[in-house]
Amino acid sequence: MDEGLHQPVLLEEAVTGLAIKSDGHYVDATFGRGGHTRAILAALGPAGQVLALDRDPEAVRAGEALAAGDPRLRIAHTAFSGLEQAWRACAGQARADGVLFDLGVSSPQLDRAERGFGFLRDGPLDMRMDPTCGESAADWLNRAAEADIAAVLRDYGEERQARRIAAAIVRRRVERPLTRTGELADLVAGVLGRREPGKHPATRSFQAIRIFINDELGELRSALQQALRLLRPGGRLVVISFHSLEDRIVKRFMRDQALGEALPRNLPVMGDARVGRTLRLIGKSVRAGAGEVARNPRARSAVLRVAERLA
């Protein structure tokens, strides 16, 4: 996809949150098509460095093309859980000045029917961010127990009719396997009907299955801990989330690290009764303004949070 058609969300706010130093070393943990990476590079001097990660081979190829013309950029093909290993391979024991996460699925992934993320155009029912490994959505839906399917739809999609949809999927696969996004979208729409104006009835189901197939919440939890270990004192952690479950994980992680651990009551200690603080919250959560939402409707649900590593 043409880079011009992919609009990075909260671009200026993310770069501001990173508080970029000219000679700093930064991680863009979700390269996508490089919108945030380009902005970071533009703010860096000749001695600055960026390590960009992505689990999507198409994104990695786009990153390698950009890195070929800029020696300050390195690309690693890995999921979030490989963050620390990729950083050590690139920077050894050095610490990072900032780590940026732009969560969820990218516009190029959604817009290409053959990737199987969306339902507006029919394509193979895949949904893997890295189609070279793991189980596709079709493979899982055609073998999983009805109760497991219902649990995924309920827990990751907050779908109230999860049990009815799961039962319909199991009935359908007895006749013939589900293999296309259009088949799944039609099946869910048939169960639910069109109840919400402007929102396809299969939205929550597709989202839930995608999150499960890619273990997105597990990857996020692992990566936040790794980012904390990599950041130098004063380094910034910036996270853009698009889903309430993601944002809840980020918010709780930053809050817990900022509060530290409470010491037992009545312990004879001087000063604060909490220890182990590792982060300082920077400002309040940030949402896209009306202008950005008008230009890029995907920004409507985006939430940006920033924290700074303590010594």
Can you give the pLDDT at residue 269?
A: 57
Query: Is the pLDDT higher at 41 or at 297?
Result: 41
Residues in the annotated binding site for S-adenosyl-L-methionine:
34-36, 54, 80, 102, 109
- The tens digit of pLDDT for each residue in 249-265 reads 999 999 999 999 766 66
Name the pLDDT band for 266 (thresholds 50, 70, 90).
low
d(CA 150, CA 164): 8
Query: What's the mean pLDDT in 76-94?
Result: 96
Q: What CATH number does the domain located at 130-213 have?
A: 1.10.150.170
What DSSP line would sit under 275-300, residue for residue?
A: E---EEE-S--EE--HHHHHH-GGGG
Whether 4 has a pLDDT exceeding 70, the answer reads no
Residues in the annotated binding site:
34-36, 54, 80, 102, 109
Can you give the pLDDT at residue 168?
A: 98
Whether 274 has a pLDDT exceeding 70, the answer reads no
Whether 268 has a pLDDT exceeding 70, the answer reads no
Whether 24 has a pLDDT exceeding 90, the answer reads yes
Whether 57 has a pLDDT exceeding 50, the answer reads yes
When the candidates are 3.40.50.150, 3.40.50.1980, 3.20.20.70, 3.40.50.720, the CATH number that belongs to 3-107+216-309 is 3.40.50.150
d(CA 287, CA 299): 8
Name the pLDDT band for 272 (thresholds 50, 70, 90).
low
Can you give the pLDDT at residue 1?
A: 36
Handedness of CA 128, 131, 134, 140 (dihedral sign): positive
Within 13 Å and on the Cβ side, how many CA atoms surround 20? 25
Query: What's the mean pLDDT in 32-60?
Result: 96
Which stretch of DSSP H or E encloses residue 98? strand 96-102
Query: What's the mean pLDDT in 167-185?
Result: 96
Can you give the pLDDT at residue 20?
A: 98
d(CA 112, CA 246): 24
- The tens digit of pLDDT for each residue in 102-116 reads 997 777 777 677 786
d(CA 40, CA 31): 11
- The tens digit of pLDDT for each residue in 126-169 reads 999 999 999 999 999 999 999 999 999 999 999 999 999 999 99
Q: How big is the CA angle at 108 (ends 218 and 42), to the nearest 5 degrees?
A: 90
Q: What are the structural domain ranges in the chain?
A: 3-107+216-309, 130-213
Residues sharing a CB contact under 8 Å with residue 288, sequence separation 6 or more, in sequence order: 9, 10, 296, 299, 300, 302
Q: What is the mean pLDDT of the chain?
A: 92
Query: What's the mean pLDDT in 43-62?
Result: 96
Can you give the pLDDT at residue 45?
A: 97
Query: Is the pLDDT higher at 105 or at 49?
Result: 49
For residue 288, give both structure tokens.
Answer: 């896209």
Tokens 């890619």, residue? 214
